[in-house]
Amino acid sequence: MTHILDETDRAILRSLQIDAAQSVDDISAKVHLSRNACWRRIKAMEQSGVITGRVALVDPAKVGAPLTAMVLIRTNAHDAKWMAEFQTTLRSLPEVVGAYRMTGDLDYVLRVRVADVPAYDNFYKRLTSRISVSDISASFVMEEIKDTTAVPL
């Protein structure tokens, strides 16, 4: 089901991306709609897949995962079996918070959250014991300048 967004839908989405826990009453006041009209729009966006979920954003440092590593992977294997094993492996490793298949020189970039460099080393060993890659390297994030889950509307 396709959902064509109008400016009111976009305003609702902007509000939800800031705070998904706010009440429909609060959102409806911000976007100048009745509570029921706002609720119907939110439900329609959920049913059409525009809204895919609502989550709590957690401070990584406060839960023991302050270090972000960007893991760069090259592989010589591009067959369907390897790709399926790779995806299964990544989904089983909770430290992987983002995984992207790339164009250009790199094949994949992973965004990994860990406690420290020894925890990254443990992750590295588990990853490379389960899947073969031709080259893997990591860069550690020294400062997060911008990190958002909000999609530009």
What tens-digit pLDDT sequence spans the chain (153 residues)?
Answer: 688 999 999 999 999 999 999 999 999 999 999 999 999 999 999 999 999 999 999 999 999 999 999 999 999 988 999 999 999 999 999 999 999 999 999 999 999 999 999 999 999 999 999 999 999 999 999 999 999 999 999
Give SS3 for 108: strand
Contact in structure between 137 and 71 (CB atoms under 8 Å):
yes
Output helix, strand, coil percentages for the chain, rounded to the nearest 5: 40, 20, 40
Domains of the chain with CATH codes:
7-47 (1.10.10.10), 60-140 (3.30.70.920)
The SS3 of residue 51 is: coil
pLDDT at 2: 80
pTM value is 0.88
For residue 4 the two structure tokens come to 């064509």
